[in-house]
């Protein structure tokens, strides 16, 4: 597979690059951003953290706002940030152009309903296609971790719980913890997966953590701000925490006083997350 470089910047002794390629899973051209630490540029293979962003975001938001490069360079960590949905002229979008469904809001599922089923296979893209591209084109190992924010926090937790053999660790900021029971998730799952709530359970982290084998537990770190406007209605971490506690899952959940849903919050604690993943590689 050919990937095309579209931008490059030196930062923290490493490189931030953007590439695009024709995705089989998404049946469209897609873009990702990658931070290669100095170690990778010098020929050393390094582990990869896949960052999944939230609603309305692209590959650019985390890379420009999180302030992760200096610590990632010091620890020798590659960071990859894909887009949040298929995108392009022939990609279906919500007719009302709402921010929480359609383009920019793929929810990291494999859509089964028309017209979304042709292109909206973000789950397959993240789990299979993107890692294959990264591991075939860059100086990286097969060691992977997942992290994300909001909708992307849902994606990181859900994908990690469904594929525990593929990831060393999982972390999230302000994740949608029980999407089958909140307005964002119900809207997205109804559109992409259909009206049967049983079909939604396979993409709901609170349901998945109930069923995962204890031999496959993957360490998880979650940070949540107590001043987050979406906390009570959309993010609902309590049921997830309750099940994790009952199952003795290795979850570290931190409620951070005074923080909201923004990248000010993420940038304040991103170093903790990078060190967390580094210790589990």
Per DSSP, the residues of 105-146 read B-TT-B--STTGGGT-BHHHIIIIIHHHHHHHHSSEEEEEEE
- Per the annotation, the verdict on 149 as an active-site residue is no
64 backbone dihedrals φ, ψ, rounded to 5°: -85, -25
Helix (H, G, I), strand (E, B) or coil at 102: strand
For the whole prediction, is pTM greater than 0.85? yes
Pick out the chain residues at pLDDT < 50: none
Q: In what order do the strands lie in the sheet with 28-36?
A: 4-11, 14-23, 28-36, 78-82, 46-52, 140-149, 170-173, 220-225, 251-256
Does residue 268 carry a catalytic annotation? no
Residue 277 is predicted with a pLDDT of: 98
The CA distance from 185 to 182, in Å, is: 5
CB neighbour list of residue 89: distance below 8 Å, 6 or more residues apart: none
Whether 82 and 130 have beta carbons less than 8 Å apart is answered as yes
| Amino acid 1: pLDDT | 81
Task: Kindly report, residue by residue over 2-58, the tens digit of the pLDDT.
Answer: 999 999 999 999 999 999 999 999 999 999 999 999 999 999 999 999 999 999 999
Cis peptide preceding 196, ω within 30 of 0: no
Contact predicate 171/75, CB 8 Å:
no
Among 53, 58, 150, 169, the one annotated catalytic: 150
Angle at 152 between CA 92 and CA 249, to 5 degrees: 140
How far apart are alpha carbons 26 and 235 in whole angstroms?
A: 27
Which of 53, 228, 273, 278 is catalytic? The answer is 228
Tell me whether residue 150 is one of the annotated catalytic residues.
Answer: yes
- Per-residue model confidence (pLDDT) at position 281: 98
pLDDT at position 186 is: 98
Helix (H) / strand (E) element for 242: namely helix 238-246
Rounded-to-integer distance, Cα 256 and Cα 246, Å:
23
CB count in 10 Å sphere of residue 32: 22
CA atoms of 36 and 70, how far apart (whole Å): 11
CB 270 within 8 A of CB 237: no
- CA torsion sign, 223 to 176 to 91 to 48? positive
Q: What is the pLDDT of residue 96?
A: 85
Which candidate in 16, 119, 261, 277 is catalytic?
Answer: 261
* Tokens representing residue 33 in the block: 């951003």
149: nearest Cα among 229, 254, 263, 226? 263
């Amino acid at each position: 597979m050919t990937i095309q470089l579209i931008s490059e910047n030196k930062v923290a002794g490493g490189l931030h690059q953007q590439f695009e390629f024709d995705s089989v899973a998404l049946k469209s051209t897609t873009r990702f951003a990658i931070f290669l630490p100095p170690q990778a540029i010098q020929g050393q293979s390094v582990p990869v953290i896949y960052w999944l962003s939230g609603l309305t975001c692209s590959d650019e938001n985390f890379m420009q706002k999180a302030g992760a490069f200096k610590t990632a360079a010091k620890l020798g960590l590659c960071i990859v940030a894909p887009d949040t949905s298929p995108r392009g002229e022939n990609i279906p979008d919500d007719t009302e152009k709402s921010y929480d469904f359609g383009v920019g809001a793929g929810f990291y599922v494999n859509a089964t309903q028309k017209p979304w089923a042709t292109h909206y296979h973000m789950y397959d893209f993240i789990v299979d296609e993107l890692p294959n591209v990264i591991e075939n084109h860059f100086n990286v190992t097969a060691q992977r971790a997942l992290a994300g924010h909001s909708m992307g926090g849902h994606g990181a937790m859900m994908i990690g719980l469904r594929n525990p053999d593929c990831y060393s660790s999982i972390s999230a900021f302000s994740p949608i913890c029980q999407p089958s029971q909140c307005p964002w998730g119900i809207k997205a799952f109804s559109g992409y997966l259909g009206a049967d709530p049983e079909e939604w359970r396979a993409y709901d982290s609170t349901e998945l953590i109930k069923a995962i084998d204890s031999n496959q537990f993957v360490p998880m770190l979650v940070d949540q701000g107590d001043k987050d406007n979406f906390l009570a209605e959309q993010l609902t971490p309590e049921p997830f925490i309750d099940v994790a506690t009952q199952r003795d899952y290795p979850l570290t959940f931190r409620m951070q006083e005074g923080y909201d849903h923004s990248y000010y919050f993420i940038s304040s604690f991103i170093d903790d997350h990078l060190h967390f993943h580094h210790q589990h590689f």
